[in-house]
């Protein structure tokens, strides 16, 4: 199993994405950008949160290679909570959070976990399967209050933040490793060529990642963002650029 990845911050800003990988696993984490001026109850940055989650997951994926991915994630969220429970109010509903996607080989199986909007694209014997947790795209409203009420709620969406139980609400699945030709993990900043600009379909995005590599995929995304800005296009959530992370997984056959 070979893993190739790149992560790039939005120009001029700290990178709130993170990526970690081992010999047979990879995790993409995408921190939710804080609303300016909002009291989150946390003295840390979103960068701090994603690095703690990614670090805790890396330790567990390395030391507990057989464990259920949901249990690994719940434990990583708990570890991260413990790292700032003394200084921060983790009951604050606006506490920092992140989406994440992970893929792991376990013997003859390839298993994955997707929580919130970082898509996983699988090439299964030539057929493209897209694993998306689209609960965050189906909220009745997107005001600060509406999103707060829906976060980590059974009728809303689930994210990795201050609530370990969210891990058990993630989308999970597994396939025989022999049936998967390649896989792509993307933060939503790296899937904009599909989801925001409509310049590629999912198959095309995976081909671009596989053929040109993650650095070129992100460069092309930046060019599309730049073109949209120059055209005066109004971008989703008011973000002209987004942090972008893409990881390609291939297999020696």
Residues near Zn ion (CB under 5 A): 42, 44, 84, 88
- Backbone dihedral region for residue 126 (phi beyond 0: left; psi -120 to 50: alpha; all else: beta): left
Which residues does residue 55 pair with via DSSP β-bridges, in sequence order?
A: none
Least Å distance, CB 41 to Zn ion, is 8
Buried b (16+ CB within 10 A) or exposed e, 57-94: bbebbeeebeeebbebbbbbbbbbbebbeeebebebeb
> 84 vs 104, which CB is nearer to Zn ion?
84
- Shortest distance (Å) from residue 3 CB to Zn ion: 30
Nearer to Zn ion, 88 or 136 (CB): 88
Kindly state the tokens that stand for 185: 């993990």
**In the complex, minimum distance from the CB of residue 87 to Zn ion, in angstroms, rounded to a whole number:** 6
Kindly state the smallest distance separating residue 49's Cβ from Zn ion, in Å. 7
Question: Closest distance between Zn ion and the C-beta of residue 45, in Å?
Answer: 9
Q: How would you classify the pairing of strands 109-115 and 127-131?
A: unpaired
- What stretch of H or E contains 230? helix 214-230
Q: CB of residue 159 vs Zn ion: minimum separation in angstroms?
A: 15
d(CA 187, CA 167) in angstroms, rounded, equals 18
User: Which residue's CB is nearer to Zn ion, number 47 or number 177?
Assistant: 47
What sign does the dihedral 77-79-83-86 (CA atoms) show? Answer: positive
Which is closer to Zn ion, CB of 81 or CB of 128?
81
CA 30 to chain centre: 5
CB 94 within 8 A of CB 51: no
Number of Cβ within 10 Å of residue 109's Cβ equals: 11
User: Which lies closer to Zn ion via its Cβ, residue 42 or residue 167?
Assistant: 42
Task: Pick between residue 88 and residue 246 the one whose CB is nearest to Zn ion.
Answer: 88
Q: In 31-103, which ranges are continuous DSSP H helix?
A: 46-63, 69-84
Q: How far is the CB of 141 from Zn ion (least distance, A)?
A: 27
Between 94 and 195, whose beta carbon lies closer to Zn ion? 94
């Amino acid at each position: 199993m070979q893993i190739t990845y790149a992560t790039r911050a939005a120009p001029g800003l700290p990178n709130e994405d993170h990526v970690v990988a081992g010999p047979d696993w990879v995790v993409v984490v995408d921190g939710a950008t804080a609303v300016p001026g909002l009291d989150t109850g946390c003295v840390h940055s979103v960068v701090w949160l994603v690095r703690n989650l990614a670090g805790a997951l890396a330790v567990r994926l390395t030391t507990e290679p057989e464990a259920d991915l949901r249990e690994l994630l719940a434990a990583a969220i708990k570890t991260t909570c413990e790292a700032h429970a003394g200084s921060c109010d983790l009951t604050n509903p606006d506490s920092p959070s992140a989406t994440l996607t992970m893929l792991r080989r376990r013997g003859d199986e390839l298993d994955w976990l997707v929580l919130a909007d970082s898509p996983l694209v699988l090439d299964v014997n030539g057929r493209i399967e897209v694993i998306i947790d689209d609960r965050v795209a189906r909220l009745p409203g997107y005001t600060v209050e509406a999103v707060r009420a829906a976060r980590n709620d059974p009728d809303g969406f689930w994210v990795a933040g201050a609530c370990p139980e969210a891990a058990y609400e993630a989308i999970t699945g597994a396939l025989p490793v022999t049936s998967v030709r390649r896989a792509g993990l993307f933060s939503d900043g790296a899937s904009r060529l599909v989801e925001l600009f409509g310049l590629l379909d999912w198959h095309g995005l995976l081909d671009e990642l596989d053929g040109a590599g993650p650095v070129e995929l992100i460069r092309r995304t930046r060019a599309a963002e730049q073109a949209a800005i120059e055209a005066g296009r109004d971008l989703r959530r008011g973000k002209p650029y987004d942090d972008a992370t893409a990881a390609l997984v291939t297999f020696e056959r």
